[in-house]
Structure 1
Amino acid sequence: MDNFRLVFDTVIELNGTDNVFWIFYVMNLILAIIAYELGFAKKLPIGQKIVVYILLLIGVFLLTIFSTVMRMPTVESLLVINAVLAIYRIRLHFQRKHKKTT
């Protein structure tokens, strides 16, 4: 199980344990926002979008607890999720482009 904590081990090695929670909070938040925008975002009014992002801030706080205290590979999982969603979006873009030209 230790092999899956590459990001955690690297952050600890480079920064120590002083601000590790906040470093992981920011990383998890950025990756969660990217995943939301790639896979689930719809056109929403500004008020609803603010509510969604506030809930995302709260959810990422809980996710960061799993990442730092329980040492689960959440950052690595979010990286894989973002890669899969990016590949899906790229394929969808090319498929629509091809469909439009034929």
Structure 2
Amino acid sequence: MVFDYVFEVNGTDNIFWIFYVMNLILLAIAYQLGFAKKLPIGKNIIVYILLMIGTFVITIFSTVMQMPTIECLIVIILVLGIYRFRLHRERKHRKEVKEENV
């Protein structure tokens, strides 16, 4: 679905780089929502460099093999976002209950 839309709008000009940037942004958001921990700046830079390299491989799947990676990443972000929201609410509720008991 996304591939067809981008192909219609832009044609074949720079389609790989368009998908690379889209995948990189979505992968960075998914990483932040689901897997990121507080790291020193040097290690954080290394993680994002490796993420950029991995995005290259995923972009090949998106463009050459026309797999729905962007659609899957959007679903992953939605699920992780819902999980983080519910986790935040649960922690807030536990904190309120704990304060009431004190």
Q: TM-score, normalised by structure 1?
A: 0.94
- The one-character-per-residue Cα deviations of 1:19-57 (angstroms, maximum 9, x if unpaired) are 110000000000000000000000001110010000000
Which of these residues, 45, 48, 67, is aligned with residue 50 of structure 1?
45
Q: Distance in 2 between matches of 1:25 and 1:50?
A: 19
| 2:59 counterpart residue number | 64
Q: Distance in 2 between matches of 1:14 and 1:95?
A: 43
For 1:93, the aligned partner's letter is: H
Q: Distance in 1 between matches of 2:4 and 2:22?
A: 14
Offset of residue 71 of structure 1 = 0.5
Q: Which runs of 5+ in 2 are unaligned?
A: 98-102
* SS class of match (1:70): coil
Q: Distance in 2 between matches of 1:68 and 1:22?
A: 10
Structure 1 runs of 4+ with >6 Å offset = none
Q: Distance in 2 between matches of 1:95 and 1:48?
A: 30
| Percent identity for Structure 1 against Structure 2 | 71
Aligned length: 97
* SS class of match (1:47): helix
Q: Distance in 1 between matches of 2:72 and 2:57?
A: 15
Q: TM-score, normalised by structure 2?
A: 0.94
The structure with the largest alpha-carbon Rg is 2
| 2:100 counterpart residue number | none
RMSD of aligned alpha carbons: 0.5
Q: Which runs of 5+ in 1 are unaligned?
A: 1-5
Say whether 1:27 aligns with 2:26. Answer: no
* SS class of match (2:66): coil
Q: Distance in 2 between matches of 1:69 and 1:80?
A: 21
| 1:91 counterpart residue number | 86
